[in-house]
Amino acid sequence: MKVSTRVEYGLIALMDIVIYGENGQSVSALEIAQRENISHKYLEHILFLLRQAGFIAAQKGMKGGYSLARPADEIVLSDVLNALDSTILSGLDDCGEDSTLRSVIKVCFWEKINSNLNRYTEQLKLSEVVNQCRKNIPESWDMYVI
């Protein structure tokens, strides 16, 4: 499966906000962009989509930035994916009612994969993704060397 950078960076940004905003702190787009090596301008566009969908809230001012609009365990991954790319979880285009190998493979294989992906992401909470990632990140992952 090919996932767009908008979806990939959106998930990264959300997870960064969860991790670095744990104590109620706002996380700036510039901090996320620098930490995750993402274009700041492109990230701002993605953060706008996430804010528009109600996942994050923006605070203006010197200590401004982004924070979760609701707890991570109330954010379902399928909603995030659909907000960033409405086609990622959609069904495949109809190939018609023929009996070609293409249509048989579509029904027997691709539609089952898509159905499983939908079920999985509808049950997966952002907090679970963050917890899984934390288990796999080395302890020195946020250490800066000057």
User: Does 129 map to a domain?
Assistant: yes
Give domain status of residue 97, yes or no: no
User: Is 22 domain-assigned?
Assistant: yes
Output 50-58 pairs: Cβ under 8 A, ≥24 positions apart.
50/10, 50/13, 50/14, 50/80, 50/83, 50/84, 52/83, 53/79, 53/80, 53/83, 55/14, 55/79, 55/80, 55/83, 56/14, 56/17
User: Would residue 69 count as lying in a domain?
Assistant: yes
CA distances from 62 to 26, 28, 66, 141 (A): 10, 10, 12, 27
User: How does residue 98 score in pLDDT terms, banded at 50, 70 and 90?
Assistant: low
pLDDT, tens digit, 9 for 90 and up, residues 122-141: 999 999 998 888 887 766 55
> How many domains in the chain?
1
Looking at residue 79, its pLDDT comes to 93
CATH code (residue 41): 1.10.10.10
Q: Which two three-digit tokens encode residue 9?
A: 């960076």
pTM recorded for the entire structure? 0.79
74 domain residue, yes or no: yes
